[in-house]
Structure 1
Amino acid sequence: MSDTLTPVLTASWGDERSWTLQAYEDRGGYGALKKALRQQPDEIIEQVKDSGLRGRGGAGFPTGMKWGFIPQDNPNPKYLVVNADESEPGTCKDIPLMMANPHVLVEGVIISSFAIRANTAFIYIRGEVLHVVRRVQKAVKEAYLAGHLGKDIHGSGYDLDVVVHAGAGAYICGEETALLEGLEGRRGQPRLRPPFPAVAGLYASPTVINNVESIASVPAIIDHGADWFASMGTEKSKGHGIFSLSGHVKNPGQFEAPLGITLRELIDLAGGMREGHELKFWTPGGSSTPLLTEEHLDVPLDFEGVGAAGSMLGTRALQVFDETTCVVRAVLRWTEFYKHESCGKCTPCREGTWWLVQTLARLERGEGQESDLDLLLDQCDNILGRSFCALGDGATSPISSSIKYFRDEYLAHLTHGGCPFDPAASTAFASEGALA
């Protein structure tokens, strides 16, 4: 089973002081940068296109294609912005990557900036993870002192400055245009598009916005070649990725493997479900992706496979829940999060998430009636595709999917006058093994 894993970004995580420049260079770090500087920017873009690298932040858009959208005839400066505002419930891959191996991100930033002809890059990190901000700042400082950043990098004539920016801790700033608003000093709210960031992004200039893992994957592609990266994964979802497995497994953690691995394989790698319990439901890409169940254990975890199963791969935040978990309570907690994090700019999301919480809370208490399930679905329908950004869509995903797979559990709350998984409530479910 160990052959299933492909440690690339995570290969050095167990090294002593792996976050230092010395440890990174001992493993060949910044060799890809020197190789890239001997090439033309367009050659690098073509390599990333040929590799099949798709955005690791959830959307899965081809990275090289996104870089190619930058209009080089635009007289304004070009910018690279790294989205390190990891806020999706269940997602925990970018933060440990930046803590254990920040220099792979810095090297990726330099190569990517060179490819799109940007002379300034920003790394936007969630402000609440101050220890991560400090570690990346230290890595950037080390890169400057070593000549990897600044003026005339390694005699190439290329100049680059990198700014590490701490956000204010708003989930909405994970949305790329809200992130740009925050960078410019305004309230984090999504922008109307078009114009798209590639044409008019940061400071109304051409801007590429990529996730941490996307940019950190670039050095290995340059170092080993596009064919090496494309040899992993599936036909349309190439390469490797970090899968964050959390919840009711024996050994939760990060597992770097080719796209297309299944949850069954990942649970085996994690030592199985906790003793005496069975899988009930799980999220493939964080709480904003539709729930899946045990029947989906063998679905390939790539963009196409998960999409065909009715969900989204997202950030590969695999939250695993066993039969002791009340799906109604879990969905309510997630919905309360989205209500709290709504920026309030658009009515469907601002008002809709509030009403979703009211209806769900009533059902979780065992109040209301069966028609409230149809009311919930109607509320979701009035939010889905009608909100300004994807936050509203994400808020509806766990609700509609949980009703699809666990309608009986919603009804059981009404029958028992509360949560049947609560020892203080009815114990009717105990005989069925729900109360373990």
Structure 2
Amino acid sequence: MGRLECPLLLVVGEDDQNWPAHECAMDMKETMERAGNSHLLTVLSYKNAGHLIEPPFMPFARASSFKTVTNPPTKVMALWGGELVAHSRVQEDAWRKMLRQHCVKLSVQPSRGLVDEKFTVLVQNLLPGFQLTIHALHQCEDGHSWEAFAHYTADATSIVNVSQDPSLGGTYSGVEPMGLLWSLRLVPGSKTGLRWRKMNVQTPMGVTISVYHGHQTEGFLDQVLLASVVVERWYMAPGVRRVPITEGRLTATLFLPSGPGPFPGLLDLWGWGGKLVEYRAALLASHGIASLALNYLTPQITKETGKMVDNDYFETAYRVLEQHPQILGSRIAMLGLSLGAAVTLRKAVYSQVVKLRCAVCISGSHVQPIDGPVEQFNALFNKNIDKIHLDKDNQSILRDTLLPIPTDPSLKVDIKHTDKATPGSSSKGQFAANNRAMLRV
């Protein structure tokens, strides 16, 4: 029994007069507990039930004539055991639970949806007290695999609902409806330091959700699979259009929502990583906002000239949105992360061309040279590069390069007023006035 690798259900009657099935089941349980594989075992032991536990509603036989297959054959009156009413009820209960053991049902709804849409994971047809692991596996576009898993125990309803029931361990604990996604991590043995990012937004993020017997933590490919489904998570909703933009020497992609418009618009800027990152703009378009993902650190023009872009580059991108026939020119926003947030702040306050309805800055800073091209960000960073330090895991901490917050007004964006201004004057900015929820007012 210690070598058993698949789930085992033992159904025994404690009044079995033919075989000592109950005593054998208890011995097997002890053996598997010592071997460490008792998580595979479920024992259904019934009082007042005999040997012949058959499908439901079969007529009860406490004893019957029985001919053995021994040589020579022997005919005996075998006592099977059991009590009429109790045994009949046991046959019904055991049958239902046997079907659950072999017919675990897994459903994920919706199985196809946007990445910011919650799904519901249900596992049904379980035995009360049944221990299981729900596992999520995703292979990203660079070939690396990511996984998450959680441990659950079925209650009297015989159902596990990930949206309502607490995980008892795994990559997350507690009631976490979307924990199978946000706790995804690289599988053991993978290259370290990787970050998950969607590169091709025209294909879905495919995630395989699986159910395994017991509380597992590793070696999922070697475990007995009880049920599995594949779900698709999309950044582009049906009807969203992806339009590469090269006019004005831009390197950008415009995502237009489904329908004729006109739509509110948004200029989407990422940070120091460079490249053209499209997935956030695609998702915003899926929610009705025409979004332009802009590469401003490694665009084609920089590759050709060897020079970083100037302020006109961002204003050209803004005009693409402003002049597009399906975009409301009076309802344009900017969204920036990290360095993109710093650029967004500067444009919101100082640009005489960029007239934003609102600005959203994520994990950014107003500490920056307020006059000059993006290249001056590099100069500020290089000036303070000696302030970078490492933590105990040899990971770089850059935050001190912008500390302490300077008092020199030429080194930080000043947003205290409400009208536009040019760098060097008392700073103004529409930024603070109408920062409403993504242009929907």
- TM-score, L = length of structure 1: 0.24
- Which structure has the higher relative contact order (CA within 8 Å, separation 6+)? 1
Higher strand share: 2
TM-score between the two structures when normalised by the length of structure 2: 0.24
Task: Give the number of the structure whose residues are more often helix, by fraction.
Answer: 1
